[in-house]
Amino acid sequence: MGVVVSLEDRKSGSASLKPLLTLVAGDMERVNRTILSRAGSDVAMIPEIANHLIDSGGKRLRPMLTLASAGMFGFEGEHHVTLAAAVEFMHTATLLHDDVVDESDLRRGKPAARLIWGNQASVLVGDFLLGQAFRMMVDVGSLDCLQVLSDAAAVIAEGEVMQLAAAKNTATTEDEYLAVIKAKTAALFAAACEVGAIVADQDGSVRAALRSFGTNLGLAFQLVDDVLDYGGSAKDLGKEIGDDFREGKITLPIVLAYRRGTGESRAFFDRTLMQGEIRDGDLDTALAHLHGTEALADTVQRARHYGAVARDALAPLPDSAEKRALLEAVDFCIERVT
């Protein structure tokens, strides 16, 4: 019954997610129970699909952020658990809809829900989970939390549409790409942190600090994900790579490689990503361009920048085990790649 939190194995760095996991372990058990009970429905397809995703071994980073943000101020009770579960439901709903939009076949190494149950069910179960998330927020009864999370829901969807509109445009600027991931990834990280501060009854400056921490951690996290999809900055082989390339996704490594590239490399990215005409060996060519322009290494540098901003956002807050664990989580997120 327990939902396993799968930790990626430690790589070269020294930072670990373990302190965070240990601190929130008890509350995460409660979050997992809440998730399982709130994903229930007499309509059998709903728990089937929800559990397929929920059991699939995501890191559950977002709910952990809510728990740690509340725990930092000694909050005890139920509300942070309910909100953490609501945040995870919002994330799960987004994943279900994303897979439909991206026509993805795999999610966390398992067949995407849409392949098993169809696009239709994925859209509708996503809607159900979003509705349940709002119900859970209403149970908590904090209008401030509702505002933060409903803002996030609208902004996330806006970011997804922005990305769709910009899709396959190799001329995307770094700023444009940042605006997309700020909306589609960082907004939920920010909200997850901020609602932790809200339930713990913290004032506006603390809320702002945690919000800023979440935003910048989210940006760093997404940029590192972008690099990992190309095998990491150091040609870290042995995991499946190139999904973004095959789906024609414009991520920061591509943005940088394209802007820094030659006429020849631009023609290559236009053909493969804009026209979607991918031939054997093209992924290797793409990797050569990405490494040749230092695009992957510099995307990691950008991630380090946002990680540093995240750390400074927390600086004014009093020392606590949770604060130290969150700071280490920033490093962990970045060191995944190095």
Instruction: Catalog residues that contact its own copies under the rule CB under 8 A.
Output: 41, 43-46, 97, 100-101, 119-121, 123-125, 127-128, 130-132, 134-135, 137-138, 141, 143, 146-147, 150-151, 153-158, 160-162, 164-165
- Cβ-contact 330, 220 below 8 angstroms: yes
Q: Which is nearer to its own copies, 32 or 132 (CB)?
A: 132
Cα-based distances in Å from 51 to 2, 30, 32, 34, 291: 12, 16, 11, 12, 39
Nearer to its own copies, 128 or 258 (CB): 128
Cβ–Cβ < 8 Å for 100, 24? no
Minimum Å gap between C-beta 163 and its own copies is 9
The string of DSSP letters for 174-223 reads HHHHHHHHIIIIIHHHHHHHHHHHHHTT--HHHHHHHHHHHHHHHHHHHH
Which distant-in-sequence residues (6+ apart) come within 8 Å of 120 by Cβ?
Answer: none
Compute the least distance from the CB of residue 39 to its own copies, in Å: 11
Backbone angles phi, psi at 107, to 5 degrees: -140, 120
Minimum CB distance to its own copies, residue 41 (Å): 6
Tokens of 50: 């929800």
Structure-token match 């790649």, residue found: 337
Of the two residues 116 and 138, which places its CB atom closer to its own copies in the complex?
138
Q: In terms of CB distance, is 21 or 157 closer to its own copies?
A: 157
What minimum distance in Å lies between the beta carbon of 228 and its own copies? 24
Question: Least distance to its own copies from the beta carbon of 88, Å?
Answer: 16
Cβ proximity to its own copies: between 188 and 325 the closer is 188
